[in-house]
Structure 1
């Protein structure tokens, strides 16, 4: 997994690219505090020929966001390159954290 951050000079925004290697998966979405953990608002990652799922999201800088990947609508996974992890009592598990 990978997270790439690209800060824009013209706006207080960071383009964040999420990458998840999941050759066997049919779909991967990223859910988080930036889309209210709402599956209908979830960012869908596009499957590339090499089996990696990838998407870019514009997020406001100077913030921290919690997120997790949802694979095939049933398995939540964290990003091993997250900036930190935060315990979530509702889920009974840790969320990945990205600091911008």
Structure 2
């Protein structure tokens, strides 16, 4: 998964783009990302013609210094798979015995 950040000059926000390549999703028909920034509700990534899944989320830079996130891969048979982001800024423990990825919104 690729994560890119674009800090906005006109607002206290950073545009974070999440992309997952087709070969990393297998035959998945849908991919979601969940995190604090969305109240842990799933946000669906749009599937492009190339098979790439992509979404951009604006995160405030003036509310807290980091946001945790992980993403959920939903397979065609309805099973779910959780993955940690290899490009995360850091990792932190979650209450389920695993780790969540952390993204920093500070430049």
Q: Same fold (TM over 0.5)?
A: yes
Cα root mean square deviation, aligned = 1.4
Instruction: Give ranges in structure 2 of 5+ residues lacking alignment.
Output: none
Question: In 1, Cα distance between the equivalents of 2:97 and 2:52?
Answer: 28
Q: Which is strand-richer, 1 or 2?
A: 1
Structure 2 counterparts to residues 23-62 of structure 1, below 5 A: 23-38=26-41, 42-61=42-61
Q: Partner of 2:37: helix, strand, or coil?
A: helix
Q: Moved runs in structure 1, 4+ residues, more than 3 A?
A: none
Q: Where does residue 77 of structure 1 map in the other structure?
A: 83
C-alpha deviation, 1:91, in angstroms: 2.1
Is it true that 1:95 corresponds to 2:97 in the alignment?
no
Question: In 1, Cα distance between the equivalents of 2:92 and 2:16?
Answer: 19
Question: In 2, Cα distance between the equivalents of 1:35 and 1:8?
Answer: 20
Q: Where does residue 4 of structure 1 map in the other structure?
A: 4
Q: Partner of 1:34: helix, strand, or coil?
A: helix
The alignment of Structure 1 onto Structure 2 pairs a total of residues equal to 96
Q: Where does residue 66 of structure 1 map in the other structure?
A: 68
Q: Partner of 1:15: helix, strand, or coil?
A: strand
Larger radius of gyration: 2
